[in-house]
Amino acid sequence: MNYRILGGRALTGEVTVPGAKNAVLHLLAAALLTDEPVVLRDVPDLRDVRTQLALLEALGKRVEPLGEGTYRIAPGRALAAEAPSELVRQLRASFHVLGPLLARLGEAYVPLPGGDVLGPRPVDLHLRGLEALGADVEVVEGGVCARARRLRPATIALPYPSVGATIHLALTAALVPGTTVIENPAREPEVDEILAFLSALGAPARRKGGRIEVRGREELGGAEHRAMPDRICAGTYLLAGVLTRGELTVRCRPWHLRPFLDTLRAMGVELRESSEGVAVRCEDLRALRPVAVETEPYPGFPTDLHPPLAALLSLVPGESRIREGVFQDRFAYAQGLSALGARVRIRGREAIIEGVPQLRGAEVRVERDNRAGAALVLAALATEGESLVRDEEEQIPRGYSRFAETLRSLGADITEESLIATQPREEGE
Ligand code: UD1
């Protein structure tokens, strides 16, 4: 899909963010842990979610859409021990089916995963954790084969609080009778969501003194669960409100956005928080102040809001800096923002952004990262002219459901064009 945008319109109104992608993808993987039905609500309509649902079906589950983002996942055929590579290669969270399949079947093969290309994304912490639980792990060509006659509980000390490894190991431990402890786990709210879900399935899982304890069971039951609101979508829409000098209310959980909201406040953005969400208002971007931000694991500034923040900083007077502390390469937005007239320099793992008074419409291309795609759309909404954001890799629908439709409902002039219908245009037209 491509997005044709006539910028310069203030976004106003209210938006309710969909269920969190990074929770739902893992809740779906957790459905493999049980033969009882699982019902998930507020499942966002995203490409990655559709891929994960297709993966569950390929592995033997029956997926029933019940409408309005509700899915029932029940047993279908016998579980397969091998995940198909064409699905796994499309997203990173698909790799997390390895542990659950291993725990259910005693062996499993999962190809190495895909996802946003954010520099090297190894799975060493996942594999070392599975080994600690008693698995024999072999990296074979293009994938990982794991075997275990019997998994055993363990204390796993993560050298880095990886979100994926924490969740993957907690899922696996839920089917290992006894208490598994994960030390130095990720503290992202999506992890807590998975722990609550594992508890509902019958494997009590909780944080205790900075560690996670999972009390695994031989067999788990079913559960119904509503996904938490997506904090990254919430942050993206708030930034869209500020960038377009609008007035927006975003229904979300503000306490999941603490350092992000603090950053906006430090810049001078007017914010109001309530238990329902956050309201944001901005009349003049030139009155905002530059900031220096470093992305970090939760509760630090989220890496997924780095690209959309960069879009805002490109119009804030003075020199701002964003240091990327999570991924090696999160700068796929830089070329597109520059084409729109922003002044962005990348020095190692830092973006140095010199605010300009105005951006200009241009044709830009989304590459490698769905959050970079959102950043380019946001910047285009704030320009005076017309832009074409080409998303040939279909990155934006990986992370944002009904993105253009939602922005339109807030007053944006944005239309989607199918890739076939879009005529090639000269650069900068
Ligand atoms: C998850 C989120 C992603 C978010 C990220 C950080 C999902 C589906 N994705 O990704 O949107 O940007 O958390 O908040 O939930 N690492 C290793 N070895 C490992 C695992 C990770 O070196 O075995 C490194 C990675 O290369 C990366 C860093 O740790 O540099 C963070 O990765 P991790 O926290 O695992 O993020 P993901 O689970 O991939």
364 pairs with which residues across the strands?
A: 389
Over the chain, what is the mean pLDDT?
Answer: 94
Q: How high is the pLDDT of residue 428?
A: 28
CA of 162 relative to ligand 1 center, distance in Å: 5
Least Cα distance to 76 among 31, 46, 23, 24 occurs for 31
Least Cα distance to 52 among 8, 18, 95, 13 occurs for 95
Q: What do you get for the CA distance between the two ends of the chain, in Å?
A: 19
Which is the closest atom of ligand 1 to the Cα of 186? Answer: 34
How does DSSP classify residue 195? H
CA of 70 relative to ligand 1 center, distance in Å: 27
- Of the listed 42, 116, 192, 369, which one is catalytic? 116
369 is known as an active-site residue:
no
Q: Which of 25, 51, 121 to mutate to test the pocket of ligand 1 (most atoms within 8 A of CB)?
A: 121
Phi, psi dihedrals of residue 219, rounded to the nearest 5°: -140, 150
Decide whether any atom of ligand 1 lies within 6 Å of the 126 Cβ.
Answer: yes
CA of 384 relative to ligand 1 center, distance in Å: 37
- Strands of the 143-147 sheet, one edge to the other: 107-111, 143-147, 136-140
CA–CA distance, 59 with 390 (Å, rounded to integer): 34
CA–CA distance, 405 with 239 (Å, rounded to integer): 17
Element (DSSP H or E) covering residue 413: strand 413-417
Decide whether any atom of ligand 1 lies within 6 Å of the 238 Cβ.
Answer: no
Decide whether any atom of ligand 1 lies within 6 Å of the 121 Cβ.
Answer: yes
Decide whether any atom of ligand 1 lies within 6 Å of the 326 Cβ.
Answer: yes
Least Cα distance to 269 among 242, 244, 292 occurs for 242
CA–CA distance, 128 with 209 (Å, rounded to integer): 23
Decide whether any atom of ligand 1 lies within 6 Å of the 52 Cβ.
Answer: no
CA–CA distance, 242 with 303 (Å, rounded to integer): 19
Query: Is 2.30.30.360 the CATH number for 2-17+229-417?
Result: no
Residue-wise pLDDT for 300-331, tens only, equals 999 999 999 999 999 999 999 999 999 988 99
Distances (CA, A) of 240 to 109, 112, 246, 337: 42, 35, 8, 15
Tokens (6 digits) for 285: 């971007």
Residue 60's identity, in one-letter code, is: G
- Strands of the 223-226 sheet, one edge to the other: 61-67, 70-75, 38-41, 223-226
List the chain pLDDT tens, one digit each, 429 residues: 899 999 999 999 999 999 999 999 999 999 999 999 999 999 999 999 999 999 999 999 999 999 999 999 999 999 999 999 999 888 888 999 999 999 999 999 999 876 555 555 689 999 999 999 999 999 887 889 999 999 999 999 999 999 999 999 999 999 999 999 999 999 999 999 999 999 999 999 999 999 999 999 999 999 999 999 999 999 999 999 999 999 999 999 999 999 999 999 999 999 999 989 999 999 999 999 999 999 999 999 999 999 999 999 999 999 999 999 999 889 999 999 999 999 999 999 999 999 999 999 999 999 989 999 999 999 999 998 999 999 999 999 999 999 999 999 999 999 999 866 544 433 323
Residue 361's identity, in one-letter code, is: G
How does DSSP classify residue 78? P
Distances (CA, A) of 93 to 80, 109, 198, 202, 347: 18, 15, 17, 23, 30
Least Cα distance to 380 among 339, 416, 319 occurs for 339
Domain boundaries, the chain: 2-17+229-417, 21-216
Decide whether any atom of ligand 1 lies within 6 Å of the 160 Cβ.
Answer: yes
Choosing among 3.30.559.10, 3.65.10.10, 1.10.1740.10, 3.30.1330.10, the CATH entry for 21-216 is 3.65.10.10
Residue 143's identity, in one-letter code, is: G
Query: Would you say how long the chain is, in residues?
Result: 429
How does DSSP classify residue 82? B
Spell out the alpha helix ranges (H) of 14-110: 21-30, 47-58, 85-88, 98-105
Give pTM, 2 decimals: 0.95
Q: How high is the pLDDT of residue 117?
A: 53
Tracing tokens 């459901």 back to the chain, one arrives at 401
> Do 2-17+229-417 and 21-216 show the same overall fold?
yes
Which is the closest atom of ligand 1 to the Cα of 48? Answer: 8
**Whose alpha carbon is nearest atom 26 of ligand 1?**
121
CA–CA distance, 365 with 135 (Å, rounded to integer): 43
**Whose alpha carbon is nearest atom 13 of ligand 1?**
163
Decide whether any atom of ligand 1 lies within 6 Å of the 194 Cβ.
Answer: no
